[in-house]
Amino acid sequence: MALALPFRRNQESRSQARAILDHEAKRRRVIVTPEGVPLQFLLASRGARAAALFIDLALITGAIVGLTLILITIAQKVGINLDRSEETAAGRAIQAIVVLWFVAMFLFRNAWFLYFELGPRGATPGKRMTGIRVAARSGSAGGARLTTEAVIARNLVRDIELFMPLIFFFSAWADGGDTDMASWAGLAWFLIFVLFPFFNRDRLRCGDIIAGTWVVEAPKRKLEQALSVAGAARGHSQVTGATYRFGDADLAVYGEFELQVLERVLRENRAEAMQDVAATICRKIDWVAGSGDERAFLEAYYAQLRARLEMGMRFGKRRADKHSGGN
């Protein structure tokens, strides 16, 4: 229903259109490729980034627990013997397992993000699931190529943002020190870094600043069917066999914004919304269409409106929405 609103509420539609555009404009950044094509990126929302981080942390924890269990099982098979000074084959095997564990812990902590973000997707499993990725920021220097060093830098800083307060707290706890103090200090530290993305325009965390990166949405879209070559757009309605032809005056009432809303309504293909929109258009252009054939009516109107507007574009006349003049 919300989609049909611009057709219905004349007064509010304009401000509403603006509001929708502005909402995204805040997150929109443009990078000009070396070919001179401006590409638009949407900065990832903070919620998506937090979700990605939680997923990654859960996966890392799972991997650590799993690996530890596997190593313990192996150690038990070997015959567990915590007296490491024993100069036997079993003792050496246990030693090797402990070394392996240390190395694996180090890698999980530091290399997980590194490995995945250097891949062709530029995203850890968590980021992939939330549909975001790491990209190079377009600085005033212009070059926006994500480099290996940048990924290393942004992930080394993660260490102080995330793991430091935890370690701080646990070491205080293990030393039997003042855990209250430690946890408050750790919390304050943690908050500074967690809230960092809220205090700059590009939603950078400290690691992003140092590495010259940002996190953007990585949309994937399927190529949809062209609406203007199918069904009644080409002439006859499949249902009634009627042909809808609109005059110039009938098409002159709407602009690009309404065309795109119409496109969305047609793609979603919900009978209720289509009836609503068809009725509104009919009222606006004083047209009487039989009910039951709304889709064909809208398809025809869409194709002809688009043809008219695109013709205008070719002559350098664009019309943003129904309120803007210049037919």
Partner 1 sequence: MNAVTTGIARTVGGWFAKAPEQAVAAEQAALRSDRFRLGREPEWKRLEAIVKRMEQGRVRKLSDEDLLALPVLYRTAASSLSIARETSLDAALVGYLEALTQRAWFLVYGPRASLWSWFKRFLGGEWSASVRGLGIDLAVALALMIAGTAVGWLLVASNPEWYYALVGSGFADQRVPGASREVLRGTLFGNQGQEGMSVFAAALFSNNAQVSILCFALGFAFGLPTMLLLIQNTALLGAMLWLYHGQGLLLDFVGWLSIHGTTELFAILLAGASGIHIGRAMAFPGNASVLDAAAAAGRRSAQVMTGVVLMLIVAALLEGFARQLVDSTPSRLIVGGFMLVLWTGYFFAFLRRRLG
Site for partner 1 (CB under 8 A): which residue of 55, 59, 156, 279? 156
105 touches partner 1 by CB under 8 A: yes
Distance CA 268, CA 73 (A): 54
125 touches partner 1 by CB under 8 A: no
Phi, psi of 233 (to 5 degrees): -60, -25
The b-or-e profile of 16-37 (16+ CB within 10 A means b, else e) is ebeeeeeeeeeeebebeeeeee
Site for partner 1 (CB under 8 A): which residue of 99, 166, 181, 191? 99
Site for partner 1 (CB under 8 A): which residue of 10, 61, 73, 148? 148
Site for partner 1 (CB under 8 A): which residue of 8, 29, 121, 236? 121
3-class DSSP state for residue 39?
strand
3-class DSSP state for residue 213?
strand
174 touches partner 1 by CB under 8 A: no
Site for partner 1 (CB under 8 A): which residue of 65, 96, 195, 271? 96
139 touches partner 1 by CB under 8 A: yes
Residue that the structure tokens 């100069």 belong to: 87
Within residues 203-222, the interface with partner 1 by CB under 8 A covers: 204, 206, 209-212, 218-222
Beta-carbon count within 10 A of 163 CB: 12
201 touches partner 1 by CB under 8 A: no
Torsion of CA 249, 255, 258, 263, to 10 degrees: 90
Phi, psi of 87 (to 5 degrees): -95, 60
Per-position x/- string for 1-40, each x denoting binding to partner 1 as judged by CB under 8 A, each - no binding: --------------------------------xxx-x-xx
Q: Which is nearer to partner 1, 57 or 103 (CB)?
A: 103
Q: How many CA within 13 A on the CB side of residue 267?
A: 14
Q: Which is nearer to partner 1, 59 or 210 (CB)?
A: 210
Distance CA 216, CA 210 (A): 17
* Shortest Å, Cβ 232 to partner 1: 12
Site for partner 1 (CB under 8 A): which residue of 145, 180, 198, 325? 145
Site for partner 1 (CB under 8 A): which residue of 237, 296, 303, 322? 303
176 touches partner 1 by CB under 8 A: no
Q: Which is nearer to partner 1, 77 or 220 (CB)?
A: 220
CB within 8 Å of 260: residues ≥ 6 apart: none
Distance CA 88, CA 100 (A): 18
Residue 198: both structure tokens together: 């809220």
3-class DSSP state for residue 205?
coil
43 touches partner 1 by CB under 8 A: no
Site for partner 1 (CB under 8 A): which residue of 157, 265, 274, 277? 157
Q: Which is nearer to partner 1, 49 or 308 (CB)?
A: 308
Of 224, 159, 165, 215, whose CA–CA distance to 190 is shortest?
A: 165
* Shortest Å, Cβ 102 to partner 1: 4
Site for partner 1 (CB under 8 A): which residue of 51, 59, 164, 185? 164
263 touches partner 1 by CB under 8 A: yes
Within residues 305-324, the interface with partner 1 by CB under 8 A covers: 306-307, 309-310, 313-314
CB within 8 Å of 280: residues ≥ 6 apart: 4, 7, 8
